[in-house]
Each structure stands twice: as C-alpha cells, then as structure tokens.
C-alpha cells in the first residue's frame, strides 16, 4: 500500500516529488520552492542565509567546500578556490583559460549538489527535479551544459527559463489577469547584464525583446576599483596581478567599498600599506561608461520592441548591482519613472523559477510562458513584427476603402489623371495588403495619402 506521510517542514501531505527553482548566479545561487500557502519562498538552510556564494574550494584530496565557507578561503588558498565559472560553462575547451585545473562543469555541479543538499535538509524531502534559470544570451551548448551539471548533481533539470523571464513571472503572478502590463526587466548581477522588455496579459508572458551579455556586471565594477587603487598606490600592476592572494584581498576590499558606497559617501581602509580609499563621486566616474553601456542596451531593447520608454508601465530591478544608487538613478532617468522595488532584487529570479516549477507540477495552468529550453535569436521579435503589420494593415485598409469610395463618388468632377493615378496606387496597395508586406503597405499608404491630398482637400472643403 502506498504510504502518505505528512512533511513536517512544509506542513503538507508528502507528494511523490518536489520540484525546486534554482537561480544559478555568477556571484550567488539560490534555491526556492512553493510553500504550503502557495507562495514562492527562497530556502534559508539553517543559519546559512538565502544567498549562497557561487564559490567552490577544493582541498588537497579534491573534497569541495561551497558557499560562504569557500569564500573565506579565497585569500588563504586562492589557487584552489574558484568563483564566477558561469560565463565559461558550456564553452569549447579551447576557449577556456589555459592551465585551468577545475573545469566549469565540475564547479557548477558542486554548486548544484550543495543547493540540492540544502533544500533536502530544509524541506526534509528528497529533491530530484529542478527548474534552472540561465541568462537569455546563453547558447544551446551552455543550456545543455547547465542540464548536464544538473544531471551530475542528481537533479533532473526539467526546464530552463531565462532569468529575466523568471523575474517577470514573480512580478506577474500578483497582477490582475485582465490587466495588461508592458515591463522592462533590468538585471545587473555580478557577471552579466540583461534587459528584457516583456508584455504580460491574461497570464501570457511574452518577450518583446531582450539584450544582454556577460559584460558589464558587478565584478567589472570591482575590477575598476581595484585598478584605481593599484594606480593611486603606485603599485606595479604586473607583479600585483601575479600575486593571487593579494589580488583576492584587493578584489574583496573593492567589493566591500562598492557595497559600502551604496549607503555612504566615503570608504577609507588600509590593506597593509595599501590605501583603499574611494568616495562615491569617484566611484561613479569609474563606472559611468559601463552603466551607460547598459542604458544604451535598454534603448536598443525598447527600439527592438517598437516601443518608447513612455509605453513601459513598470521597471523591475534585478540583481545585487542595482543597489548602486548611480545605477538606479540612470535607470530612473531613462524610463522617467521610479523602478518598482516591491520584490527583493536578489530573490526575484529564484522565486520565478519556483513558480515555473509549480507550473510544471500542473498548477497555475492559466499561465503561459515562452519556451526557453533552447536559445532564441532575440531580435527581431516576431510579436513586435506582427504588431507593426497589424497597425500598417489597419491604416492601409482604411485608406484604401476611403480613397476607393472617394474617387467613385467624385468621378465626374475629378480629372482622369487623378482617377487613374489613384487607382494605380490603390492596386499596388491592395497587392501589398494581400502579401502582408509591412514596409510596402506603409510606403503605399503614404504615397496614396500624398497623391490624393490636393484634390481631396479641395473637394472636401466646406463651401
């Protein structure tokens, strides 16, 4: 007889299996599930926190240590402590850094194993299935490598979702289904930037456009600070770079300074004899060009979606780097509105992955997401193209009808040139309409308007 037990951790009847949602980040990874009240929740495994640094340390015997414990070894054992492997995952061997001992797949597998372990510990149930998020620009081989890492970690990755899509899902489940929202998701994490323009209506999540890459991210902010200090302290760049533990210490100090400057105006510390001083204004000058890069990508994404910033109802901030006030200010300026900060930017992706897991479990059937298991060319968006065609058709058909009627009604007062010229353009316009040729419809609509305007306005003038 099948046994039904009650899960003490979740307070629900023990289901055959639980599907978790995982945000596999370059800096931090999170694992989330749906709680008994049907809300997505990030797992906080006793005392270890929600965010698990995506850092792995291997000891001499090859035994891995993951997360904060590994982070603590960055300085003392930099050579055996690996971070930010995400960008390298699924890349061909010849694109990996030379002499790299620990392979990205191996490192990612250890991170997933640890997440699985923490989830099983917190939920008191086996965890074998997961939805995992990836950046929208991840290629098919990178998506495949993510699945493989899952398999090696004992997790069947039943679905891959783009990070920004997952974030929009967390936001979207709180909406009135009839409410149509066009949103921009601005995700600046540790190792990448992505912006997606999405439309949500009736439970349908549609990606209108997306732009992104593994540059810039918060790691790049840290790097510019580090270089600035090397310069200010007159250190020899080459020999500093050749000393891994010094580099790690400087890098960690740089990150600390950056985070401090999100809430204060000056950071002033020393590392041995090295002055680590930075004020907010200098920091903003150091990162300005990178932030401008992200703003330009936002502009391109909005243009690809054939929209203007005014058409964006809400801007979601995702990723730890959006806590930098300068970043927030630039985003606010571009969109002309305060971003929506209702949802924690660290957790929004993982929560969305958990909601997707719930959908895969047969719940929330009213939600429809794009299929992102395979990489998609982001532009041109077919949805945007269809909208442009619909709009051109509406205008073209209306004008063709009115112009046709007009020359019939006024055929005795119009010149034969007016009539034959109009008919000629009308024929071409009708052909373009039957072929769904957006550009041709547009240009013939304009031509017909211009050709008929002189005599139409003369005849329609009130006498």
Ligand X SMILES: Nc1ncnc2c1ncn2[C@@H]1O[C@H](COP(=O)(O)OP(=O)(O)OP(=O)(O)O)[C@@H](O)[C@H]1O
The partner residues of 129 in beta bridges, in order of sequence, read 19, 156
Name the active-site residue from 77, 110, 114, 187.
187
> For residues 165 and 205, what is the distance between their CA atoms, to the nearest angstrom?
8
**Catalytic pick from 23, 219, 222, 314?**
23
Q: Which is nearer to ligand X, 33 or 326 (CB)?
A: 326
Distances (CA, A) of 48 to 75, 119, 139, 331, 420: 21, 12, 32, 32, 80
Among ligand X, Mg ion, none, what does residue 172 contact (CB within 5–8 Å per kind)? Answer: none
Distances (CA, A) of 345 to 264, 351, 410: 20, 10, 64
Q: How many residues does the chain have?
A: 463
Rounded to 5 degrees, φ, ψ at 20 are: -100, 165
Q: What is the DSSP string of 210-242?
A: EEEES-S-HHHHHHHHHHHHHHHTT--HHHHHT
Rounded to a whole number of angstroms, the minimum distance from the CB of residue 187 to ligand X is 6
When CB distances are held under 5 to 8 angstroms depending on the partner's kind, the choice from ligand X, Mg ion, none that residue 192 binds is ligand X
Q: Quote the least distance from Cβ 353 to Mg ion, whole Å.
A: 11
Nearer to ligand X, 54 or 209 (CB): 54
Closest to ligand X by CB, 44 or 128: 44
Active site residue 114: no
187 tagged catalytic: yes
Binding site for Mg ion (CB under 5 A): 25, 189
Q: Considering 77, 114, 120, 163, which one is annotated as catalytic?
A: 163
86 is catalytic: yes
Per CB under 6 A, residues contacting ligand X are 25-28, 86, 189-192, 217-219, 255, 258-259, 262, 319-321, 323-324, 346
248: CB partners within 8 A, 6+ apart: 74, 75, 78, 81
Task: In angstroms, give the least distance from the CB of 194 to Mg ion.
Answer: 9
Active site residue 236: no
Q: Are 112 and 153 in contact (CB under 8 A)?
A: yes
Q: How far is the CB of 364 from ligand X (least distance, A)?
A: 25
Supply the minimum distance, in Å, between the C-beta of residue 133 and ligand X.
Answer: 9
Binding partner of residue 219 among Mg ion, ligand X, none, CB cut-off 5 to 8 Å per kind: ligand X
Backbone angles phi, psi at 313, to 5 degrees: -80, -35
218 vs 396 by CB, closer to ligand X:
218
Active site residues: 23, 86, 163, 187
């Amino acid at each position: 007889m099948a046994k039904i037990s009650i899960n003490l951790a979740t307070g629900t009847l023990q289901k055959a299996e639980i599907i978790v949602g995982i945000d596999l980040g370059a800096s931090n990874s999170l694992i989330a599930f749906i709680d008994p009240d049907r809300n997505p929740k990030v797992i906080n495994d006793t005392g270890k926190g929600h965010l698990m640094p995506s850092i792995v340390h291997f000891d001499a015997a090859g035994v891995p240590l993951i997360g904060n414990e590994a982070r603590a070894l960055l300085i003392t054992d930099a050579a055996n402590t690996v971070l930010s492997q995400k960008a390298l995952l699924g890349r061909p061997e010849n694109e990996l850094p030379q002499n790299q001992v620990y392979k990205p797949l191996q490192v990612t597998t250890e991170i997933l194993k640890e997440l699985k372990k923490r989830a099983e510990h917190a939920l008191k149930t086996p965890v074998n299935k997961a939805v995992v998020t990836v950046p929208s620009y991840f290629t098919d081989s990178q998506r495949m490598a993510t699945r493989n890492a899952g398999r090696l970690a004992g997790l069947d990755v039943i679905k891959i979702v783009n990070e920004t899509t997952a974030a929009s899902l967390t936001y979207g489940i709180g909406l009135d289904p009839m409410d149509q929202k066009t949103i921009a998701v601005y995700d600046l994490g540790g190792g990448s930037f992505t912006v997606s323009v999405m439309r949500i209506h009736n439970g349908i999540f549609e990606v209108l456009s997306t732009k992104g890459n593994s540059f810039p991210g918060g790691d790049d902010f840290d790097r510019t600070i580090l270089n600035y200090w090397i310069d200010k302290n007159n250190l020899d760049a080459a020999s500093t770079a050749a000393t891994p533990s010094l580099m790690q210490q400087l890098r960690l100090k740089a990150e600390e300074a950056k985070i401090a400057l999100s809430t204060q105006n000056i950071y002033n510390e020393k590392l041995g004899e090295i002055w680590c001083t930075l004020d907010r204004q200098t920091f903003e000058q150091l990162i300005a060009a990178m932030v401008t890069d992200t703003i330009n990508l936002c502009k391109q994404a909005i243009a690809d979606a054939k929209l203007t910033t005014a058409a964006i109802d809400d801007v979601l901030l995702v990723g730890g780097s959006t806590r930098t006030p300068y970043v927030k200010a630039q985003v606010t300026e571009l969109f002309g509105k305060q971003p929506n900060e209702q949802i924690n930017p660290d957790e929004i992706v993982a929560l969305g992955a958990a909601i997707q897991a719930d959908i895969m479990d047969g719940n929330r059937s009213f939600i429809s997401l794009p299929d992102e298991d395979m990489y998609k060319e982001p532009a041109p968006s077919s949805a945007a193209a269809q909208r442009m065609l619909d709009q051109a058709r509406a205008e073209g058909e209306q004008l063709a009808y009115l112009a046709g009627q007009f020359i019939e009604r006024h055929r005795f007062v119009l010149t034969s040139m007016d009539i034959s010229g109009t008919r000629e353009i009308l024929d071409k316009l009708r052909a373009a309409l039957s072929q769904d040729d957006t550009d041709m419809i547009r240009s013939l609509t304009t031509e017909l308007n211009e050709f008929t305007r002189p005599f139409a306005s003369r005849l329609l003038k009130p006498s």
